[in-house]
A and B are shown apart, each in its own frame.
Chain A
Amino acid sequence: MPALPLDDAGPYVAAAYLVFVVLLIVYVGIMAARLGNLSREIESLAELAERRERERNQGLDSEPGVEPERSSEEAPA
């Protein structure tokens, strides 16, 4: 088959490179979405860990027989 003239060949070449770029962009988009999920999950885990820590401290404070911790400023001389 004879070579296509530039005007006819151009769209085919553009289409081939466009397919590659689109696939790459789709893949990067999927990766970005997964990264967003991971980021949100890290935030939720950090919040959960902080809440646990607060609840644990409050539980210790209100537990009967356990003296609440005093700061060094409150401590008697």
Chain B
Amino acid sequence: MRANALRNISILTAVMLGLGFGLVFFYAPLDADQGFVQKIFYLHVPLAIIALVGFIIGGIHAIRHLRTGDPVHDARSYVSIHMSVIFGVAVLLTGAIWARASWGVWWEWREPTLVSFLIVFLLYATYYPLRYAIPDRERQARYASVFAITAGAFVPLNFMAVRLAESFIHPRTFATANGGLPPKMQLTFWVCLVAMALLWYTLVRFELTAKRTRGQLNRLRRALDSSPPPGGAAARIAPGAAVR
């Protein structure tokens, strides 16, 4: 992605986040049941949805990697999962705060929605040790892709199982035919969801650009290192300067 496009998408993301949070505090009405605490909903739920969608996107890139063997798709799969894990941390933290405010506890083990998200999060947390335990780059990418596809398929299955399961205390968002939210709340929610999706996409693009630049630098360094320097070995690049 060109620098201009990256800058534009970053500005758009910042504007959408500002607009979304502005709507949360100055436009959306107070919830009759939960009151002001319900404002966490506009942060917590979009984060959770985008994190789960990001895991699925990681799986789709992994399929493309296995089909084509192109390492670009592996990088996209890795970065998608990486970003979704970070979003997942935010989901767990904001969820715990909301739970404490609404239910009086930080965590409720009997609630399938919470536990299922934790299972998905922990599943993806094992992606890193699995990936980096394999020294061979090609095998690493292949195995990571198989993991991403399997875990990615588990995400919608898990989501459906939770929807079918009986809720303990966690509300089911959009459970009713008309969406379950008044129009002002719905508008605020959708703006926040779009803002969160844009944030995820922007951060993924930043990560990929950084990775690509790092790869190009490594190639340049290798090329400079392999060309015979006129001054002999002393002029070669010090190993300490190698890229981590």
Q: Please report A residues at the B interface, Cβ cutoff 8 Å.
A: 1, 3-6, 8-10, 12-13, 15-17, 19-20, 23-24, 27, 31, 34-35, 38, 41-42, 44-45, 48-49, 51-52, 55-56, 58-59
Contacts and interface: CB of A to CB of B under 8 A. Distances in A.
Interface residues of B, number: 42
Interface string B150-166: 00000000000000000
Main secondary structure of the interface of B (DSSP, over half): helix
Interface of B: 21, 31, 33-37, 39-40, 43-44, 47, 86, 89-90, 93-94, 97-98, 100-104, 199, 203, 206, 210, 213-214, 217, 220-221, 224, 227, 229-231, 235, 237, 241, 243
A3 B35 contact: yes
A5 B37 CA distance: 9
Nearest to B33: A3
Contacts of A17: 21, 40, 43
Given A23-B89, A59-B230, A10 B36 contact: yes
Contacts of A45: 217, 220-221, 224
16 contacts: A3-B34, A3-B35, A9-B36, A9-B37, A16-B40, A19-B93, A19-B97, A20-B94, A23-B89, A23-B93, A27-B86, A31-B206, A38-B214, A42-B217, A58-B230, A59-B230
